[in-house]
Amino acid sequence: MIWECEWCWPQVPGELLLQPRVRNIPISSSLNSIHWDKVGEAFSTTRAFQGIRARSSIVAWHDIVWHPKRIPKHAFSLWLALRGAHRTRNKLLAMGVVQSAMCVFHCGETESTEHIFFQCPFLAKVWREVLSSCNIPRPILPWVDEVQWMSTHAKGNEFQ
Ligand SMILES: [Zn+2]
């Protein structure tokens, strides 16, 4: 397609689909090479990913999920909770996966995100113990306020 530094297209009636797209690309007489983004820039998977992904705005709870000492499994579970994406029994019942949405801790309530964080009496007791073990003397807050409290007080590896 390139012959003696010029585009050279096969003789066909009409124009090939590719021709308008490459018509204004300058042809260099130097050796061919592959670059990413700009001439002279080496390819990297990170830069390719950054180039093709859609960036979202940074959320307030970013630091409590993606802190340097995170345990990936815990970070993922917290991220699901913050996105309201845990498959709680009320959602599974709506999908026909389970026959009952009752909380598995037998408190008599429907299991939902709000219930497990921390309206369920059993899970509220567990959370109170966690707070106590971490020397955090405060009552349990609604989930949104728990997230806000943690975002405000967790800086680096410590609570403030
Ligand atoms: Zn419960």
Q: Does residue 93 form part of some domain?
A: yes
- CA 107 / ligand 1 centre spacing (Å): 5
Residue 6 lies in a domain: no
pLDDT value at position 145? 94
Q: How many structural domains is the chain composed of?
A: 1
Give the CA-trace dihedral at 78, 81, 86, 90, to 10 degrees.
Answer: 150
Ligand 1 centre from 134 Cα, in Å?
Answer: 23
| Cα distance between residue 117 and residue 150, in whole Å | 14
CA–CA distance, 80 with 113 (Å, rounded to integer) = 10
Cα 66 to ligand 1 centre (Å): 29
Lowest-confidence segment of 45-54, 80-89, 130-139, 143-152 by average pLDDT: 45-54
Please report whether residue 15 resides in a domain.
Answer: no
Asked whether residue 124 is assigned to any structural domain, the reply reads yes
Alpha carbon of 119 to ligand 1 centroid (Å): 7
Residues 14-29: tens digit of each pLDDT: 887 778 877 788 787 7
Task: Give the residue, 18 or 128, on which the prediction is more confident.
Answer: 128
Distance (angstroms) between ligand 1 centre and the Cα of 137 equals: 23
Residue 150 lies in a domain: yes
Q: What distance in angstroms lies between residue 128's CA and the mean position of ligand 1's atoms?
A: 15
Considering only residues 4 and 126, tell me which one the structure prediction assigns the higher pLDDT: 126
Distance 101 CA to ligand 1 centre (A): 10
> Residue 83 corresponds to which tokens in the numbers above?
């996105």
HSE value, Cβ hemisphere, 13 Å, CA-based, for 77: 8
* Residue 143 covered by a domain: yes
**Where does 28-137 show beta strands of DSSP type E?**
none
β pairing state of 6-7 and 154-155: unpaired
117: region left, alpha or beta (phi > 0 left; psi from -120 to 50 alpha): beta
pLDDT beyond 70 at 116: yes
Q: Enter the pTM of the model.
A: 0.64
- Tell whether 14 is covered by a domain: no
133 is in which domain, residue-wise? 62-159
For residues 84, 89, 91 and 94, what is the CA-based torsion angle, rounded to 10 degrees? -170
* Average pLDDT of the residues in 134-144: 92
Query: Which residue did the predictor score with more confidence, 123 or 24?
Result: 123
158 CA → ligand 1 middle, Å: 30
90 by Cβ neighbours in 10 Å (0-12 / 13-18 / 19+) ranks as middle
Is pLDDT larger for residue 95 or for residue 4?
95
The answer to whether position 28 is within a domain reads no
